[in-house]
Every structure is written in structure tokens, then in C-alpha cells.
Structure 1
């Protein structure tokens, strides 16, 4: 039975395990998702298995991953949202979210990311969050701006072969924004 550690009004976060391969195949086999995260627009089954393995390794080594997220009402997996190491010397982690395309446009990305940001700063004690997006993904651009990230530079992202607009949120920015709201 799955254990959940972050809960929002509609979502719950869990931890990827090897037996979650079907959910991973559904997510990273969705061409609408992978067109923004893979250079050729798709991931093979082997690449998806490797991605799942990497998420599990990140959790075992760093206690973070792009955690699978589930609807509370139906327990259906809608994608993943989480962290991976970015600059450990500065205690900065990269934040990302991948949602199955049929769940786009329902506010799930914003809800999941807000919960993740709070968890990262208040529970994990990170000092900063880095995020980037495919330059063709305008929805991710809008999401990062809404979340309060600040543009820092374009950074080459090997999986797409593109320079991705890249952003940072430091703990002070998060705390200032929280005080204003």
C-alpha cells in the first residue's frame, strides 16, 4: 500500500517504487508530455525504465525525487512533481513537474508546486529552488512566474538539446512572498 507524505486539497504525493512502472510508462509515454522533455519528442520503454530507476536512486541517495502524485478522490496517478539535486554546495535543488496531458488546465500543476515549494523550504530546509522549462512550453513559463520564480539565465539542457529559460527562488523570496499573501 502506498504511503503519502504531502497532501493538498486534491492531491497526494508518494514515492516511486519499481512496481510503479505502469504509471511511469503512462506518464513518460505520453507524447504531449515528452515533446517538452526529450530531444526527439518521445521516450522509449528503455528510457522510461531508466528514468524510473534514476528517480528511485535519487530518493535513496538524496531523499528527493520527482515524486508521483495522485488524485485524492480516485487515487489515480496524474504525473509527478518533485526535486533533484542541482547545486548541493549551495543547497539548491531543481524543481520540476510532469503531468499527464489529460490533467492539464485544471490547476493541478500550481497546487502541486505550491505544496512542493513549502515542503522544500520548511521541511527539507533547502536554500534555493532552480527551475527551467522548454522554450516552447509557454504553460510552464506562466506557472513559474505565478509561483514567484525569478529568471536568471538560459541554460543548456542536454535531454532536449535546447537552451531553457532558467529561474531561481531563494528562501528569502519565498518567505517575503508568503508574508505578502
Structure 2
């Protein structure tokens, strides 16, 4: 079981079925989903399918996914996770998605710092981020967090 990770304004915790409304707000928003690899969700049934997938992928060890919950409101404002682990577990990809209403407030930076600390404890030494070439905001953020662009992917050693 993965731990909850506590920051000053957020908690990274397991995604729960009662997060459905907050998750639908995130995954159905055009602005939030502009550069996401998933299509825009058009129904809450798609959230239920996503939750089932998260459980299945975590059980198989293929990924770890957290809800980003704002402490002040207990609202889920995003998700972040680790996936595409290397065969020996020393590298993986990091991904995050934040409700567009919460952009430019430092929430993703805080979430990623918590995630990076935990990732190091798992024995991961290198992180990758697959950022769309037009997603300049994410490119700037990941560069600020120490990621270097190499062959179209961003990477960082822990």
C-alpha cells in the first residue's frame, strides 16, 4: 500500500470512489486536458472506468497514482503518479494533472516535491516526463524542477 504524502497545503493520497465529482471536474475540462494523453471525459462512467484501471495497474505494480487533495477544502484538485517503471525499477515516468482553476499557485510543484522524495525511497534513480512539445507551461515547470530535455523527453536524476 502506498503512503499518504503530506505537504503544507496538499495531501497526496489514494484515489477513492467518492472523488468522482472532483475527478470529473478535472477530466472533463478542455483547458485541463489540452495536453493530456487521455481524451476529455464526457461522462462520470469514464471516471469509474479510470478508477478501475488505477486499481488494476497498482495491483500489478505497473503504476502508482495519487489524488492531490487541497487540505483547506478536502477537494481533489489533481492527480499525480508514477508509471512505466524500468525492468529493474530504477527509472520511471512521472505524470500529473491539475484542475485548471488551481494553475499558477504552486500546487504541482508541491505535489512533485512530495512525489520525488517518496520515489527516491522506492529505489528510483531517474525520472522521465513525457511533455507535449506545445505544453510550454509544463516544460518550464519541469525545467525549474531540475529536469533536462533530451531527445524530446525530460529527465532528472534523483
TM tier relative to shorter chain:
0.7 to 0.9
Structure 1 unmatched ranges of 5 or more: 155-165, 175-181
Comparing 102-111 and 129-138, the one that deviates more: 129-138
> Structure 1 residue 63: deviation in Å?
7.7
The answer to whether the 8 A contact 1:66-1:97 is kept is no
The corresponding residue for 1:75 is: 74
The corresponding residue for 2:33 is: 34
Which of 133, 138, 157 does residue 140 from structure 1 map onto? Answer: 138
The corresponding residue for 1:57 is: 56
The corresponding residue for 2:90 is: 91
> Structure 1 residue 19: deviation in Å?
3.9
> Structure 1 residue 167: deviation in Å?
1.3
> Structure 1 residue 47: deviation in Å?
4.3
TM-superposition CA deviations, 1:1-44 (whole Å, max 9, x none): xx9610111110111233433232122111111111147x6233
CA separation of 1:30 and 1:4: change in aligned 2, threshold 3 A = farther
Between Structure 1 and Structure 2, the one with more helix by share is 1
Structure 2 unmatched ranges of 5 or more: none
The answer to which structure, 1 or 2, has the higher relative contact order (CA under 8 A, 6+ apart) is 2
The answer to whether the 8 A contact 1:152-1:168 is kept is yes
Where in structure 2 are the equivalents of 1:81-160 lying within 5 Å?
Answer: 81-89=80-88, 91-121=90-120, 123-154=121-152
CA distance in 1, matches of 2:114, 2:58: 18
Aligned Cα RMSD in Å? 2.2
Task: Report the 3-state secondary structure (helix = DSSP H, G, I; strand = E; otherwise coil) of the residue aligned with 1:73.
Answer: coil
The answer to whether the 8 A contact 2:17-2:51 is kept is yes
CA separation of 1:143 and 1:127: change in aligned 2, threshold 3 A = same
> Structure 1 residue 110: deviation in Å?
0.8
CA distance in 2, matches of 1:90, 1:62: 10
Which of 152, 155, 169 does residue 156 from structure 2 map onto? Answer: 169
CA distance in 2, matches of 1:31, 1:4: 31
> How many residue pairs are counted as aligned between the two chains?
156
Structure 1 or 2, whichever has the larger Rg, is 1
